[in-house]
């Protein structure tokens, strides 16, 4: 079964999540957890993620995939890059816990007979850094640079397959997260501003180009919720959206949901200082950072509209659209094509 773009089968309310939670309990046991293991929902975004408490082996994390977002081959590709980053680039990622038969991606039928993919990961301790912590943004920039360097050099397996985050995937006729035009609170005035932004983004991205030094395999969701800080260690989690895009898309995702806050320019400066510890960023690339922040921002207007069951979507709602319009006006006043 394939979801239409912008639909989300896990956002159907309490009854759906109750059913998925029962499914998660069965999947945990199929994945090797012992009798008496308990599952607790951690969050719902693209997928439903559970903490599994096994009285015999301790905690682990189970990801239950939404229907139609990824094939098993795409998930295996994600896991292969996570393994390679951990082994070859010094990026701390969670290890996959294979099922008893050795498989890493489990595919099981839920109560409705629909088959869902699941993956169980090791539990990594840590907390999400604060969104005003410049030091952690510098560390994030350094980690991101190591991921980018690895992606440019890595010989991917011949079966490797992931989707793209280009303009068409974000805002085309089959936009992956739905249409920004259907975002919460997008009326005629908001539509006019965001349509101008859309056109300028399209033209600037086309002019920027997608050569191999600018476009490749990226995490595509390096927001703070996907970092775990534990003492002196930082782990990167949730590679579910990883795919092919502009490398600078990763800096756009780092300030997801708070792009309009006044301290963001300072955080971006910190991110750049960390990135440059590993590799240079050409001035003409640095000049387009806000293009990628706005690319992500407009994409999140669409995401909120198509994921209204997610906690953060309910929390942000129409106010996020209003702030997006104000941010777009400032961006457009400085950049015209």
Over residues 268-284, mean pLDDT: 97
Q: Is the full-model pTM beyond 0.85?
A: yes
Structure tokens at 134: 């410049």
Instruction: Tell me the pLDDT tens digit for each residue of 30-47.
Output: 999 998 999 999 988 889
Over residues 209-224, mean pLDDT: 96
Instruction: Tell me the pLDDT tens digit for each residue of 130-169.
Output: 888 899 899 999 999 999 999 999 999 999 999 999 999 9
Q: Judge whether residue 336 has pLDDT over 70.
A: no
Q: What mean pLDDT value characterizes the chain?
A: 93
pLDDT computed for residue 5 by the predictor: 47
- Spatial neighbors of 284 by CB under 8 A, at least 6 apart, are none
Contact 237, 243 (CB under 8 A): no
Structure tokens at 65: 């995939």
Q: Judge whether residue 290 has pLDDT over 80.
A: yes
What whole-number percentage of the chain has pLDDT above 90? 84
Rg (CA), the chain: 20
Name the band, by pLDDT with cuts 50, 70 and 90, for residue 219.
very high
Instruction: Quote the longest CA-to-CA distance of the chain.
Output: 62
Locus of tokens 């997260």: 177
Contact 203, 335 (CB under 8 A): no
Structure tokens at 45: 């975004």
Domains, the chain, ordered by start: 9-122 (3.30.200.20), 134-334 (3.90.1200.10)
Q: What is the DSSP letter of 105?
A: S
Q: Judge whether residue 270 has pLDDT over 90.
A: yes
Q: Judge whether residue 6 has pLDDT over 50.
A: no
pLDDT computed for residue 12 by the predictor: 56
Instruction: Tell me the pLDDT tens digit for each residue of 223-267.
Output: 988 999 998 788 999 999 999 999 999 999 999 999 999 999 999
Over residues 322-337, mean pLDDT: 89
Structure tokens at 105: 């991606």
Contact 302, 177 (CB under 8 A): yes
Q: Judge whether residue 4 has pLDDT over 80.
A: no
Element holding 159 (H helix, E strand): none
- How far, in whole angstroms, is CA 40 from its chain's centroid? 22
Q: What is the DSSP letter of 106?
A: E
Name the band, by pLDDT with cuts 50, 70 and 90, for residue 15.
confident
């Amino acid at each position: 079964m394939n979801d239409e773009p912008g639909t989300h089968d896990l956002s159907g309310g309490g009854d759906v999540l109750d059913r998925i939670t029962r499914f998660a309990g069965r999947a945990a046991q199929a994945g090797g957890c012992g009798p008496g293991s308990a599952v607790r929902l951690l969050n719902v975004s693209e997928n439903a993620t559970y903490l599994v408490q096994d009285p015999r082996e301790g905690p682990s994390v189970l990801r239950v995939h939404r229907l139609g977002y990824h094939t098993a081959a795409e998930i295996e590709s994600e896991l292969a890059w996570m393994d390679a980053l951990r082994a070859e680039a010094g990026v701390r990622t969670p290890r996959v816990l294979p099922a008893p038969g050795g498989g890493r991606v489990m595919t099981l039928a839920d109560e409705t007979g629909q088959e869902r993919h699941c993956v169980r990961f090791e539990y990594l301790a840590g907390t999400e850094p604060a969104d005003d912590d410049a030091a952690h943004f510098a560390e994030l920039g350094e980690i991101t640079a190591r991921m980018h360097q690895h992606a440019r050099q890595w010989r991917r397996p011949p079966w490797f397959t992931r989707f793209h985050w280009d303009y068409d995937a974000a805002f085309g006729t089959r936009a992956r997260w739905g249409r920004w035009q259907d975002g919460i609170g997008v009326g005629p005035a908001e539509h006019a501003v965001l349509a101008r932004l859309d056109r300028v983004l399209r033209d600037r991205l086309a002019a920027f180009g997608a050569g191999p030094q600018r476009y490749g395999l990226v995490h595509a969701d390096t927001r703070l919720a996907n970092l775990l800080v534990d003492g002196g260690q930082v782990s990167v989690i949730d590679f579910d959206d990883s795919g092919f895009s502009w490398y600078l898309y990763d800096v756009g995702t780092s300030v997801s949901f708070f792009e309009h806050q006044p301290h963001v320019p300072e955080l971006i400066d910190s991110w750049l200082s960390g990135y440059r510890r590993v590799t240079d960023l050409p001035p003409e690339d640095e000049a387009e950072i806000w293009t990628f922040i706005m690319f992500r921002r407009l994409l999140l207007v669409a995401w909120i509209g198509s994921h209204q069951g997610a906690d953060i979507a309910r929390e942000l709602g129409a106010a996020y659209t209003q702030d997006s319009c104000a941010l777009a006006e400032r961006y457009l006043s400085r950049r015209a094509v």
